[in-house]
Structure 1
């Protein structure tokens, strides 16, 4: 799996943090990301604890250390070590990420998961497309919406 620590993007490109434990889904996401030609960098962590560790390091470093704060978090729910909903709870409790968009990208269509994700502060809940071209299309739309068109507040300024 990918290293949890990455150098901040040197070109100023937004960073997408993909939290995904399935190596096949990671490979497909990377291929789809490349094919969608997003103007962003993607970092991958493979479990809930790695996600929290990465985000905590980025918050502590203020973006100036080895971990870069993400502009968008794509979060799977079914993760080892710490479930996605617990990661989401941690993200929303951290003032550094209160304005960072979190998109749940999962295979779960269970009403309970959807309701809990939104209650915990997910910005969107999307089912993983089965077909590769669907994933390319989805990532392209996500990049266009969340990284180019959506305006967000500075970290730590969102009102609850």
Structure 2
């Protein structure tokens, strides 16, 4: 049993030594997508495009919310002096307006999220092309996009951002 154990240990050490020799030739890079979304010109342009596209609707939603709040405050002040029928009618009107506001806000948010996802997907596709070109030109064996910890010497995000910013 001891002989088998020693052979296993010796075999493991030989395998580890062989792995260590090949590990030095293995080139790894890591890309931080969050930084690309924040710092790359294409991502900034996409954000600006979305803001321009949705700013009018966002202002309409904000105005509607302010109008609804004003009407609600007015109702709160006047409710004690209104008759039961008037109070119920105004309350129903406020509820209808609130439902309409909620619907419009939900639609706005869904549209914004869908467009944001489309634009981010375009940025990711461009970044992936740059990463593939970088991997081929600098002979990387593996490039990861997400990780828990990255040694700064393996982080190639700056190179990717520079390449993205240089290419149009």
Bin the TM-score by the shorter chain: under 0.3
TM-score if structure 2 supplies the norm length? 0.25
TM-score if structure 1 supplies the norm length? 0.26
Higher strand share: 1
Higher helix share: 2
Higher relative contact order (CA 8 A, sep 6+): 2
